[in-house]
Amino acid sequence: MTPVIAVEHIAKRYGDLQAVADVSFDVQEGEIFGLLGPNGAGKTTTVECVQGLRHPDEGRVWVLGLDPRNQAGALRTRIGSQLQESSLPQRMRVAEALALFSAFQPDGPPWRTVMDQWGLTEKARASFGSLSGGQRQRLLVALALVNDPQVVFLDEMTTGLDPAARRATWALVEQIRARGTTVVLVTHFMDEAMRLCDRLAVVDHGTVVASGTPTELVDAHTDGVTVTFTGPEQNAELAEALRRVPGVADVERAGPQYSVRGGPTVVAPVCAAIVDHGLAPPDLDVRRPSLEDVYLRLVSGDES
């Protein structure tokens, strides 16, 4: 299947700053694709190049078969965009904003329908400045969809939102995908990427350091699952039995503290072995590595 977006080795420099050094990825139709990375990694510059808002110094970009460099006008009618660090005039009202933006996109649905779909009708006369963070994001998402786009770019949309508003915003993203729209999500939140993205690319210092589904990334870049529990002080047989469980890589014991490390499938057999030994440790805990562990391993921590 032809990808909706193809990015091939793009690079972009601002003066002395190499914002993007070498970024490539494909986005397939209907998926939520994430660009994950720390602030300043080059994510925003990358999506701006993809949208034709900037032009890369090197490399090539195709979006919906168009070249953003010289077909930005045609592209603009088929993509939607919620930009980081963009704003609306404080006194502009919700209905006004939707009417205004849809005036430039004549092929889109009637703006009142969009306002209704995104639950903004009761806020129609509220000014942008009076909206809460979550309501603003809802409006910006609605504005990104006034042209009924095939691809939507969402850049750092939950930064600065409280947890409830973040969750509400995640629901919006899933709602967008449910309409069949491809979503490109830029974020530096691991939980957000894990929860929403079908596939993602981890970007650091302007390059893609890893890409795949969240599960693939976790499997490829972490040491697997760890089961911990408190058991008998002296029981070499238990430790031996645990070592024999298929998939277990390592058993560590420090006094009564057991720590069993292995692949993602070892949890059930390890627990079975523990039960076989007549134990039911109340503090048994399973730690599955998350995207956060991948991230911390792959991304150099300049900010600490």
Select 38 or 108, whichever has its Cβ closest to another protein. Answer: 108
Q: Choose, by CB under 8 A, the member of 6, 99, 161, 286 that binds another protein.
A: 99
Selection from 50, 11, 1 nearest residue 207 by Cα: 11
Quick one: 36 or 143, whose CB is closer to another protein? Answer: 143
| Contact call for residue 91 and another protein (CB under 8 A) | yes
- Of the pair 9, 91, the CB lying nearest another protein is at 91
Q: Which residues inside 22-61 make contact with another protein, applying CB under 8 A?
A: 51, 53
Q: Cβ of residue 139: shortest distance to another protein, in angstroms? A: 11
Q: CB nearer to another protein: give 142 or 271.
A: 142
Q: Which of 2, 39, 70, 87 binds another protein (CB under 8 A)?
A: 87
Q: Could you say whether residue 261 binds another protein (CB under 8 A)? A: no
Phi, psi of 40 (to 5 degrees): 85, 10
Applying CB under 8 A, the span of 84-92, 163-171, 248-256, 281-289 interacting with another protein comes to 84-92
Stretch that binds another protein, among 88-96, 130-138, 238-246, 268-276 (CB under 8 A): 88-96
Binding site for another protein (CB under 8 A): 51, 53, 73, 76-77, 81, 83, 85-89, 91-92, 96, 99-101, 103-106, 143-144, 146-147
